[in-house]
Structure 1
Amino acid sequence: MSTFSGQRVVVLGGSSGIGEATAAAFAKDGAEVVITGRDQQRLDAAVARIGGNTKGHAVDAVDQAAVAALFAELGTVDHLVLGVSGSAGSGAFAELDLGELARGFDAKFWPQVRSLQAALPHLRTDGSVTFITAGSSRAAFPGTAGLAAINGALDAMVPPLAVELAPLRVNAVSPGVIDTPWWDRVPEEQRKQLFEGLAAVTPVGRVGRPEDVAQAIQMLAANTFVTGIVLDCNGGTTLASGR
C-alpha cells in the first residue's frame, strides 16, 4: 500500500513550481490531493499535469473566510502544506519601500498563518503541517533583508507551534535557490548567469529543482517522529566551508 493511500493532503499554492511538484509527489503516493490558487484555469491545467486523485479549488489565501469555507467543505485533512508565496519585499535596505515590505508580509506571512488557523478545526489530530519558507531567513545575501524578515517570522513560529498543537506535527522546509517560475521576473540571460554562478559555489553543484523540495516536504509528512524543525533544502549553500 502507498504511504499516503486514503489520506487527504491540501497544498495551498499548488498550481505551479514547488507547490505543484509537492502535490504531484503526494498524488503519486496514493493521496487524495487538493491544490489551491487564485486562477481556476491555472489550477485546472496543474490538475491535468499532476493526475491521480487531484482536485483544484480557486481560493485567494488572503481571504481567511474563503479559506475557512474551503476547509469546512473538505472535512478532515491529514496533511497541510502551506505554499502560498510572493516576491515583494526584496531590494537594498537603504532604498527598501516599507510599504512593499508590508505587501510581502500580506502575500506570504499572513496567508500562511491565517490558513493554518482556519484549517486547525479540520486537521487530523496527529497529522502534519509543513510551512514552505525560504533560505533568505538563514543566509546573508545583500538585498534580502526584507525577505529574511518575512520567512524568518514563519520559521520562528515552528517550534512553539509544534509544542502547542501537539500531537499535530508542525515543520517547515526552507528552500534555497530553486528553478521555478518565481524567477521569471529576472531576465533570462541574467537568470542563467545567476544560476550558473550559484551552482559553481554550491556543494552539490547545481541549483535546486521543485522536486527536491517536494521530497523534503513528503518526508516530513511521512515521518511521525519529526516535529518542530526547519529543514534546509539548499544544496549546502549555507555550510561554513562551501565548496
Structure 2
Amino acid sequence: MSVSTALVVGGTSGIGLATARRLREAGAAVHVAARGEKGLADLAATDPTITGHRADGGDRSAIGAVAAEIGAVDWLVVALSGREGPGPIADLDLGMLRRAFDAKFWGHLTTVQAVLPYLAPTGSITLLSAITARTGMPGTAGVAAINGAVEALVRPLAAELAPVRVNGVSPGFVDTPWWSALPEDARREYFAQAAQALPVRRIATAEDVAEAVVLAATNPNLTGTVIETDGGARLVSMA
C-alpha cells in the first residue's frame, strides 16, 4: 500500500502543527515548511518523524525547491497567518494591512503556484482562512478582507484544477500562539467572555480545527467547500 505525502506550509505551531501531527498519525509522510529556525528546531525535537524544511511561504523559489525535494505531494495544506490586520477602519494602518495581505493572501497564492507542478493528479489543496471573512465584528474589516480573499480562491480553483480537490477551512476563536501578544490574564478573560457568547460555550483548540483540515485534505468527495469550524461564531453577535 502506497504512503500519501503531505506538505504543511506554516506548520510549526498552532493549527498547522496540529494538522501535521494528525496527518502523521494517519500514516502519511509529512513535511512541514516554515521560515523560523526555532520553530523547526522545536519540531525536530518533539516530532522527529515529521520532516522540516526552512522556507518562506511567500518565496516561490524556496517553496518550489521544497516541493521538488519531496518529489510528489498528495495533500498540500497552507496554514500561513500573521498577527497584523485588526483595527478600526478610521485609523487602520494601510501599510500594515498590505504587509498582512503579503503574509497571508499572497503567501497562500504563491505557495499554491509553487507546489502545483508537484501535486499528484488526485491530490488536494486546503487553505486556511478565518470566520472574520463572513461575520460583522467591529474592528475586523482588514482581516475580513484578507480571509475573504483567501476563501474566494477556493471555488474557482476547485473548478480549474480538477480533479485536484481544493477546499478551505474557516476557524473562529482558537487557543493558539496567534493570541500570544495578549498578556495571559487578558487572554483568559477575553476567551472566557467569548466562550459565553458562542453557541458551543467553549474556545476551540488547534486539534479541533485540525480534524476539519484533515477531513478537507483527505476526503475524496470534498471539493470547492469551505468548512466552518467556528463554534457558531457566525450565528451570534461577537461585538
TM-score range, shorter chain: over 0.9
Match in the other structure for 2:145: 149
- Find out whether 1:192 has 2:188 as its counterpart: yes
Identity, in percent, stands at 47
Q: Deviations over 1:79-126 (max 9, x none)?
A: 000001101111000000111110000111101100001111100111
Structure-1 separation of matches of 2:237 and 2:188: 25
Offset at residue 41 of structure 1 (A): 3.1
Instruction: Give the Cα–Cα distance (whole angstroms) in 2 for the partners of residues 23 and 50 of structure 1.
Output: 10
Q: Secondary structure at the match of 2:3?
A: coil
- Give the TM-score of the pair, scaled to structure 2: 0.96
Contact kept, 8 Å, 1:9 with 1:32, in 2: the verdict is yes
For the 8 Å contact 1:139–1:238, the answer to whether it is kept is: yes
Q: Does 1:201 align with 2:197?
A: yes
Partner of 2:44: 47
> Match for residue 85 of structure 1?
81
Whether 1:37 and 2:38 are equivalent positions in the alignment is no
Q: Do the aligned partners of 2:127 and 2:169 also contact (CA within 8 Å) in 1? A: yes
Note the C-alpha offset of 1:204.
1.2
Q: CA RMSD in A?
A: 1.5
Give ranges in structure 2 of 5+ residues lacking alignment: none
Matched, 1:229 2:225: yes
Deviation readout 1:198-233 (Å, 9 max, x if unpaired)? 111111110110001110011112211110011111
2:57/2:63 contact within 8 Å kept? yes
- Other structure's SS at 1:85 match: coil
What TM-score do you get using the length of structure 1 for normalisation?
0.94
Q: Does 1:27 align with 2:8?
A: no
Which structure 1 segments of 5+ residues have no match?
none
Which residue is 2:111 aligned to?
115
Q: Is the 8 A contact 1:27 1:50 kept in 2?
A: no
2:178 maps to 1:182: yes
* Aligned residue number for residue 128 of structure 1: 124
C-alpha separation in 1, matches of 2:98 and 2:69: 31
Give CA-to-partner distance per residue, 1:139-193, whole Å, 9 cap, x none: 1111110000001001011001000000000000001010000000112222111
Give me the whole-angstrom Cα distance separating, in 1, the residues matched to 2:123 and 2:147.
Answer: 23
Runs of 4+ in 1 over 4 A off after TM superposition: none
SS of 2:234's equivalent in the other structure is: coil
2:123/2:164 contact within 8 Å kept = yes
Structure-2 residue corresponding to 1:168:
164
Would the alpha carbon gap of residues 240 and 196 (structure 1) be closer, same or farther in structure 2, given more than 3 Å must change?
A: closer
> Aligned letter for 1:100?
M
Shift of 1:48: 3.1
SS in 2 for 1:15: coil
Task: Work out whether 1:13 is the aligned partner of 2:13.
Answer: no
Deviates more, 1:67-76 or 1:145-154: 67-76
Q: How many residues align?
A: 238
